[in-house]
């Protein structure tokens, strides 16, 4: 890629707003609601006309692991396929999706067809945009060491996703069949203990992970997997993984009604949840404000909120949510 193209691509990256959903666990209602609330879709979950430069990322566990609902899978499939130009839908696999594939592989009967399972296998394990890493659970040493190796080989993220697919879905390294597979998507049993344990040189895993992330030029991790009551958790494990902002976006949306994070083109993160809505004065006001920030409001999908107003709203979001 030439220098000019690179710059243009960078420019395009910066204009993209991102909606992050997590752990919706077969619950379509909370997904449709969040998509409507930010002005991306109508009530039925169909893209509104005129939407540009938006990325929807689901950090995994879109399905229930014991009873995956084909309708839910097909909804995401169609959201992805019908995304307008300059928009995309990234569906990351969580441990639910991995476990569904494992169970199907073991011959367990479920409502998903081979076509549905093939759709899951085509989705990615992680996503990097700018200085943000999106994945289902917590970054592990294995995952980051592999990423760094690929980066040093000038392979880029596509190669990683390709490698992951081969390793897990084609069973090449047999990771798919055991616990290591789930650890790759960040499903660690005791995270605090994991980040606190020391390597042979006496350095805790968390510090090593922080170093690896910095070498990868990543300073923010957005993930789900571990439920929080009502609101998202910001600066999680900041003592254990210093210098890295880890955002846990799982606010148990299927129980609380809705939850999401919005990342603006400058990398500023806002949280959307029932508490934020309450603080800001209810659904109508909340939706209007969000849509104005995102440029998805009725007043014209092109116009953006004045800088001063945005700062006020940003402060409210930060202190309360």
Question: Which of 22, 30, 59, 95 contacts Mn ion by CB under 5 A?
Answer: 95
Judged by CB, which is closer to Mn ion: 94, or 295? 94
In Å, how far are 112, 267, 268, 285, 297 from 306, measured between CA atoms?
A: 47, 18, 16, 17, 14
CB of 155 to Mn ion, least distance (A): 27
**Using rule CB under 5 A, residue 251 touches Mn ion:** no
Using CB under 5 A, which of the segments 55-63, 120-128, 198-206, 215-223 binds Mn ion? 55-63
Q: How is residue 91 written in tokens? A: 């569906």
Judged by CB, which is closer to Mn ion: 61, or 124? 61
CB of 115 to Mn ion, least distance (A): 24
Judged by CB, which is closer to Mn ion: 36, or 62? 62
Site for Mn ion in 225-244 (CB under 5 A): 225
Judged by CB, which is closer to Mn ion: 95, or 254? 95
**Using rule CB under 5 A, residue 248 touches Mn ion:** no
CB of 225 to Mn ion, least distance (A): 4
Judged by CB, which is closer to Mn ion: 54, or 168? 168
CB of 96 to Mn ion, least distance (A): 6
Judged by CB, which is closer to Mn ion: 95, or 220? 95
CB of 24 to Mn ion, least distance (A): 11
Using CB under 5 A, which of the segments 57-65, 124-132, 173-181, 192-200 binds Mn ion? 57-65
Site for Mn ion in 168-227 (CB under 5 A): 225
CB of 182 to Mn ion, least distance (A): 9
Gap between the Cα atoms of 48 and 15, Å rounded: 19
Judged by CB, which is closer to Mn ion: 24, or 95? 95
Using CB under 5 A, which of the segments 54-62, 124-132, 236-244, 254-262 binds Mn ion? 54-62
Q: Which long-range contacts (CB under 8 A, 24 or more apart) does 104-108 make?
A: 105/176
Residues 6 or more apart whose CB falls under 8 angstroms from that of 207 comprise 241, 242
**Using rule CB under 5 A, residue 94 touches Mn ion:** yes
Question: Which of 27, 61, 97, 183 contacts Mn ion by CB under 5 A?
Answer: 61
Complete edge-to-edge strand list for the sheet that includes strand 132-135: 126-129, 132-135, 220-223, 245-248
Residues lying near Mn ion in the complex (CB under 5 A) are found at 61, 94-95, 225
């Amino acid at each position: 890629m030439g220098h000019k193209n690179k710059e243009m691509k960078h420019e395009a990256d910066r204009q993209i707003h991102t909606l992050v959903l997590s752990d919706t666990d077969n619950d379509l209602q909370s997904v449709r609601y969040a998509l409507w609330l930010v002005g991306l879709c109508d009530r039925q979950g169909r893209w509104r006309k005129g939407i540009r430069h938006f990325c929807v990322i689901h950090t995994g566990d879109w399905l229930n692991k014991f009873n995956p609902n084909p309708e839910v899978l097909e909804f995401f499939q169609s959201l992805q396929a019908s995304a307008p130009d300059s928009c995309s839908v990234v569906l990351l696999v969580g441990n639910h999706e991995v476990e569904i594939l494992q169970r199907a592989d073991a011959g367990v009967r479920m409502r998903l067809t081979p076509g549905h399972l093939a759709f899951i296998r085509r989705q990615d394990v992680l996503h990097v945009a700018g200085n943000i890493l999106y994945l289902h659970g917590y970054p592990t040493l294995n995952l980051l060491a592999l990423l760094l190796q690929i980066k040093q080989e000038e392979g880029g993220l596509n190669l990683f996703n390709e490698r992951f697919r081969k390793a897990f879905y084609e069973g090449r390294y047999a990771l798919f069949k055991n616990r290591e597979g789930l650890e790759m998507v960040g499903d660690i049993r005791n995270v605090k203990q994991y980040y606190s344990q020391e390597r042979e040189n006496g350095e805790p895993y968390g510090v090593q992970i922080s170093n690896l992330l910095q070498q990868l030029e990543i300073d923010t991790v957005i993930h789900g997997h571990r439920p929080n009551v009502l609101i998202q958790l910001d600066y999680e494990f900041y003592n254990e993984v210093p210098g890295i902002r880890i955002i846990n976006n799982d606010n148990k949306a299927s129980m609380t009604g809705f939850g999401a994070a919005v990342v603006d083109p400058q990398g500023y993160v806002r949280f959307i949840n029932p508490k934020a809505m309450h603080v800001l004065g209810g659904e109508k006001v909340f939706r209007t404000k969000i849509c104005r920030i995102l440029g998805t409001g009725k007043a014209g999908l092109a116009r953006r909120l004045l800088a001063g107003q945005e700062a006020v709203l940003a402060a409210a979001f930060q202190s309360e949510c």
